[in-house]
Amino acid sequence: MTAQNPNFHIYLSLGQSNMEGSAQIEAQDTVDVNDRFKVLAAVDCPDLNREKGKWYTAIPPLCRCKTGLSPADYFGRTLVEKLPDSITVGIINVAVGGCKIELFDKDNYQAYVSKAPDWLKNMVAEYDGNPYARLVEMAKIAQKDGVIKGILLHQGESNTGDTLWPKKVKTVYDNLLKDLNLEASKTPLLAGEMVHADQGGICASMNEIVATLPETIPNAHVVSSKGVPDAKDNLHFNAEGYRMLGRRYAIKLLNVLRNQANDPIVEKHAPEGFDKMRNGIPQGRIDSITYKSKTVGTERKAMIYLPPGYSKSKRYPVLYLLHGIGGDEKEWLTQGTPQVIFDNLYADGKLEPMIVVMPNGRAMKNDRAEGNIFSKDKVEAFATFEQDLLNDLIPYVEKNFKVYKDREHRAISGLSMGGGQTLNFGLGNLDTFAWVGAFSSAPNTKAPQELLPYPEKAKSLELLWISCGDADGLMPFSSRTSEYLRDHDVPHIFYVEPGGHDFKVWKNDLYMFSQMLFKPVNNDVLNKYSVLGLPASTNIRNKQYPQILPDSRVVFKTKAPEAKQVQIDLGKKYDMEIDDEGFWTVTTDSITEGFHYYSLILDGVAVADPASETFYGMGRMASGIEIPFKGDGYYSLKDVPHGDIRIKKYFSNASQSWREMYVYTPPGYEESDQAYPVLYLLHGGGEDQRGWATQGKTNLILDNLIAENKAAPMIIAMLDGNVSTGGVAGFNQNALMAFENELKQGAIPYVEQTYRVKTDASNRALAGLSMGGLQTLHAGVHNTDMFSHLGVFSSGWFANNDELSGPQYEFMQNNVAKINGNLSNFFISMGGPEDIAYKNCQVMMKKFDDMGITYQYSEYPGGHTWPVWRHDLYKFAQLLFK
């Protein structure tokens, strides 16, 4: 390797015996090592034909000449398995058994080595007495060939109980960054736990200290050792343990890299100590002010914070910070310590200088929080405060302090009742405030349509922040506002965090919100700030996971303490990570809108997630997740008249068996005596008659269309397209003919005998998705005297199966005039080029064009998925029976 290759990813590994590798290397560890996995020899090993400073295929040992299997082995193997073939992975492993982290402190290692036992000095001597220097020397050689992407650490046994260990690791980490010209944000540090308590680890207590490392190094990430088998000495892992731990290092890295690529926000939560007073930093000043309130007819008090270095010779922006229903102008100061938070932020250079005014939001003559704080007059006083704020307090502040007087330099924020005031006053006075931050808004928050009857106007805000703790019972007031804003494309942050309705949450909110004020805001990343998501609507009752983040990434979490490997399969597989309580977690990429099947894979076995509702799909009961999006209104549950879904058993004369269908009857069916047209609607392969009713949301789509006069009231019969004929259901000629017979001799007669329906062709439609699309193409096209409307969703005759497709095209060629004459609608739709049926459909439509068959074509992006098919039904239903 002669020139730096950006696709050559290099990782430094260091530590003590568990990184060095103490397990015996077994045959499976030396075979099938991909040539894309390299090791840079850190010492000369003549017996291995390795020369220091040169690259070799990474057959163990990877550390020194006679060391054993290490986590680095299966870290690299897993990476090359999961990364594109264009990526090569390189390891530099410098580790010394029995050493403390002090050995890698370049400024103090000599003092440590001087007192070390001879056996440790002998290992250190293999690195010319300075392992850190050897690691840097090898890393600089490696940088000529590739790019350093991260650092692996497994060390701590010899530092057990040392609470300063994180700071000592940071010293080593910072030195590596400096000496190798690396950026902290681009160089994750992965630190593995010691042998776990569940294996009897004698240094397991050190894991509590290791867990705090990310508080000291923001880009540090801990790799759990829970369930990783040890070598029965309760100190080292065995060979299988090193394989498991190495894979976990790799999975951790891949998840970190994916999350960092998807999420550019580095700080998403206040760090430890953010609200603790520091010595030796400039401090702001707290004063009390009194202003005359014409609104209330008395003098009122407020508290004011002036920033460090406040000068009357310069102007400042202002933040108006509001309290909750049980507080007053001093509540923030006594419980939220904003002055400490602000002083620390100023000291860190994170805050624009501003004045903060903390008023009493209860605008009445006796504004104390005493007696019944929920009495009508006191609650109404919080609404009255809007006029007091606008007409009395703000003019007083702007007259008596050197502040800017335009909306761009005026912010409003508050907690609970004050959060509701913030939204009510801020969004109600967009000419006064350009920065609005509502924390855990209370029930006084106006309904979204009342808050913003013209949501387009809110786009003039510099920043709109809405936050709430995930365990807060008032969450619906925040989430409904955010949903309304999302649906109307109003940029905002919806920040969900761990916690309830308390100052632990609100102090964090203030820390996050305040440092964004009076600075340029990047609207492209507003949906990346949230720490947590909201539980999916498809979760079973009271289950918090899966959670959907504002950018449609999904956090999955499940408990399986005995499992060795857990994945989520959403079409793409995501490796999950285990924590010390046995919970496995992963955050996915952003998932496309609508409904998706998924599975948990436990040690290779696909199962349903016990936290999710299950749906029949993929040929079995599977988990499903619903991803909301701003265009999902057409299948939302709305305040409109609703039809019914009926589950009907019927005896089929065609199959001589009992069968089941789901039947949608439109609003008013029971009260009416009219006859209705019928759409016969078919599911796809691996599904059944339940699909369109549950996954497809047929009833909601039709309820909304009918209410808007966009679709004719109709009955929809959702049939079971699975017919027993041998072979793959639906995909051979016998199955297609059997379904046609079932449709004509079983389903249609039952519907027409049971419901008030019109029975002529002009009032019958047939449509289906995927396999159901093939059934529609066969049964519908062969019976245009029975159906005037056909809908083919994500389907098409197979281009590579002339035995099946040929006779269909021949029939159509011989009946072009009849087909075109009988069909009022021949609707064909696809989920874009990513739809698995796309190529077949394109070939089919070319043949239709050559024959002169008339059809309508539609595309909706999303592939071969339910979001596409819901939209297909939405479009197709509007064409029918007109």
Describe the crossing of helices 131-143 and 165-179 by its angle, rounded to 10 degrees.
Answer: 40
pLDDT band (50, 70, 90) for residue 133: very high
- Cα separation, 570 vs 259, in Å, equals 17
Concerning whether 145 is annotated as a catalytic residue, the answer is no
- Residues 68-115 pLDDT 10s: 999 999 999 999 999 999 999 999 999 999 999 999 999 999 999 999
Q: What region does 832 belong to: left with phi over 0, alpha with psi -120 to 50, or beta?
A: left
pLDDT band (50, 70, 90) for residue 30: very high
852 and 816 in contact (C-beta within 8 Å)? yes
Helix (H) or strand (E) holding 742: helix 733-742
Q: Is the pLDDT of residue 868 over 70?
A: yes
Question: Whose structure tokens read 């703790």?
Answer: 469
Q: Is the peptide bond before 546 cis (omega within 30 degrees of 0)?
A: yes
Q: Is the pLDDT of residue 729 over 60?
A: no
Q: Mean of the pLDDT values across residues 262-283?
A: 90
- Cα separation, 485 vs 86, in Å, equals 42
> Could you give the 3-state DSSP secondary structure of residue 350?
coil
- Residues 147-192 pLDDT 10s: 999 999 999 999 999 999 999 999 999 999 999 999 999 999 999 9
Residue in 9, 13, 17, 29 annotated catalytic: 17
- Residues 229-259 pLDDT 10s: 999 999 999 999 999 999 999 999 999 999 8
- Residues 789-806 pLDDT 10s: 999 999 999 988 999 999
Concerning whether 603 is annotated as a catalytic residue, the answer is no
The per-residue pLDDT for 728 is 45
Q: What is the DSSP letter of 447?
A: P
The per-residue pLDDT for 725 is 53
Q: Which of 670, 713, 718 is nearest to 698 (CA)?
A: 718
714 and 666 in contact (C-beta within 8 Å)? yes
Helices and strands of the chain, counted as H and E runs: 27, 34
- Cα separation, 54 vs 39, in Å, equals 8
Q: What is the DSSP letter of 591?
A: P
Residue in 174, 233, 489, 644 annotated catalytic: 233
879 and 789 in contact (C-beta within 8 Å)? yes
**Residue 679 CB burial class (10 angstroms; 0-12, 13-18, ≥19):** buried
In percent, the amount of the chain with pLDDT more than 90 equals 93
**Structure-token pair, residue 133:** 């220097």
Concerning whether 236 is annotated as a catalytic residue, the answer is yes
Measured CA angle at 865 (ends 767, 85), to 5 deg = 140
Largest Cα separation within the chain, whole Å, is 99
- Residues 563-609 pLDDT 10s: 999 999 998 999 999 998 999 999 999 998 889 999 999 999 999 99
- Residues 384-434 pLDDT 10s: 999 999 999 999 999 999 999 999 999 999 999 999 999 999 999 999 999
Q: What is the DSSP letter of 780?
A: I
Measured CA angle at 805 (ends 799, 811), to 5 deg = 135
pLDDT band (50, 70, 90) for residue 550: very high
One DSSP character per residue, 564-576 reads S-EEEESSSEEE-
- Cα separation, 393 vs 385, in Å, equals 10
The per-residue pLDDT for 633 is 84
Q: Is the pLDDT of residue 65 over 80?
A: yes
Taking 3-state DSSP, the helix, strand and coil percentages for the chain, each rounded to the nearest 5, stand at 35, 25, 40
- Cα separation, 718 vs 697, in Å, equals 12
Q: Which of 754, 751, 667 is nearest to 713 (CA)?
A: 667
Higher pLDDT, 783 or 630: 783
| Domains in the chain with CATH codes | 8-262 (3.40.50.1110), 285-528 (3.40.50.1820), 534-630 (2.60.40.10), 635-877 (3.40.50.1820)
Q: What region does 14 belong to: left with phi over 0, alpha with psi -120 to 50, or beta?
A: beta
| Nearest 10 degrees: Cα torsion 91, 97, 101, 105 | -70
- Cα separation, 744 vs 721, in Å, equals 13
198 and 226 in contact (C-beta within 8 Å)? yes
The per-residue pLDDT for 629 is 81
Q: Which of 414, 411, 334, 407 is nearest to 382 (CA)?
A: 414
Q: Which residues pair with 318 in a beta bridge?
A: 355, 410
The per-residue pLDDT for 726 is 44
Higher pLDDT, 393 or 632: 393
Q: Is the pLDDT of residue 2 over 90?
A: no
Q: Which of 539, 624, 549, 534 is nearest to 590 (CA)?
A: 549
The per-residue pLDDT for 730 is 55
Mean pLDDT for the chain overall: 95
Question: How far is residue 705 from each of residues 667, 698, 701, measured CA to CA in Å?
Answer: 11, 11, 6
pLDDT band (50, 70, 90) for residue 724: low
Q: What region does 482 belong to: left with phi over 0, alpha with psi -120 to 50, or beta?
A: alpha
Is pTM, for the whole model, over 0.75? yes
Q: Mean of the pLDDT values across residues 715-738?
A: 79
Q: Which of 311, 277, 508, 501 is nearest to 401 (CA)?
A: 311
The per-residue pLDDT for 263 is 81
Q: What region does 446 belong to: left with phi over 0, alpha with psi -120 to 50, or beta?
A: beta
Residue in 221, 236, 789, 864 annotated catalytic: 236
**Structure-token pair, residue 816:** 């072009």
Q: Is the pLDDT of residue 640 over 90?
A: yes
Q: Is the pLDDT of residue 129 over 60?
A: yes
**Rounded to the nearest 5°, which phi and psi values hold at 439?**
-105, 120
